[in-house]
Amino acid sequence: MPVPTLDDLGDLDGRRVLLRADFNVPVADGEIVDDFRIRAALPTIGYLLEHGAHVTACTHLGRPEGAPDPAYSVEPVRRRLAELAPPVELLENLRFDPGETADDPAFVQRLIEGQDVYVNDAFGASHRAHASVVGPPRFLPSAAGRLLQREIEVLLPLRDEPARPFVVILGGSKVSDKLGVIDSLLEVADALVIGGGMCFTFLAAQGHRIGDSLVEFDHVDTCRRLLESGAAIHLPTDLTVLGPGGEIGRPDAGGEVRQIGADVPDGWKGLDIGPGTAAAFGDLIAEARTVFWNGPMGVFEDPRFAAGTRTVAEAMAEARGFTVVGGGDSAAALDSFGLADEVDHVSTGGGASLELLENGDLPGLEALRGAPNAH
């Protein structure tokens, strides 16, 4: 999918560049917890500055309700950016204005006023048709930054020409969030591995008891259809469960933790894949030539239910095949285990990576292809 890149922008000396970055970083008590997303934009920022451009960056941060909110000020990001790339200016949180999420033409005009060029390096926001993502390419010469370009180069071949066997591992809480990408990936994947809370809707479709586990009953029939399609779908055969009275994240609250088979007793909650399942999933990863992983296998934030996710993360790190982690919670898990540098590509966008794999395109990419310099 050809989109204009930085090298297509020509002479940038003295030109004013509006850079849409994804600096939506975790902030606690006014301090940045993890600056990975800021550092990820530095190759693009470096290119622009080295070529003489004046760079103004913009980003969203959190989910303010279309009005200024001190809790979501970009000031901590501005301070860190001033340390990493001092010449770069940073606008206030885009989502302080309701025009951002509404793709309001007047807001787009305010954003691009005085700017000569637009660069999108915010892969994690490119699946949203927001003003800062799709608006500027209607008017300004535009390009994908290095980070966005790399995401396209890594993820799109997974849809079209993965080295085989191609194994897809999906986890997380809701199967409804991933039905579209499941349908798309079943056409190209050699094996689909399912864990996390979403596995219980599939297990219910198989007739298993699911106790008090998370389940979406309105999607059981869809999961049954997928299972009966003949596709190679791998589900847990054992689980780690929490007994009555227990609380997630509070080991001191009581509640027995137990490994059981695929049937969860009444009053119990399945919160992780079991050790046998984790080992089997690890074997599939080890045999693969391409692996894509999105979504944890359990509630990994609670150490009692982290083993399944850790086993998958370690298998990804040790795999000989090409390994891709699709952002979001799975990237956070990988990082928490100290394994982020051990996989081939960690995407900066969880939702964006899934949507690109599902649809083969994103609003942000479509906008770049329509820019004045793209014709």
Nearest to 297 by CA among 277, 316, 317: 277
Of the residues 255, 327, 328, 364, which is catalytic?
328
Q: How far is CA 233 from the centre of its chain?
A: 22
Of the residues 20, 37, 128, 150, which is catalytic?
37
Nearest to 285 by CA among 156, 195, 175: 195
Q: Which helix (H) or strand (E) holds 293?
A: strand 290-294
364 phi and psi angles, rounded to 5 deg: -65, -35
State yes or no: is 37 an active-site residue: yes
State yes or no: is 370 an active-site residue: no
Q: How far is CA 73 from the centre of its chain?
A: 23
State yes or no: is 295 an active-site residue: no
Decide if 136 contacts 144 (C-beta within 8 A): no
CA separation (Å) from 6 to 11, 231, 375? 10, 41, 16
Which residue type is seen at 215?
A: V
State yes or no: is 95 an active-site residue: no
281 Cβ contact partners less than 8 Å away, ≥ 6 residues apart = 169, 193, 195, 234, 273, 297, 308, 311, 312, 315
- Cα torsion 234, 239, 244, 246: sign: negative
Of the residues 243, 276, 351, 360, which is catalytic?
351
Instruction: Measure the CA–CA gap between 357 and 172, rounded to whole angstroms.
Output: 17
Of the residues 174, 224, 289, 369, which is catalytic?
174
Active site members: 37, 174, 328, 351
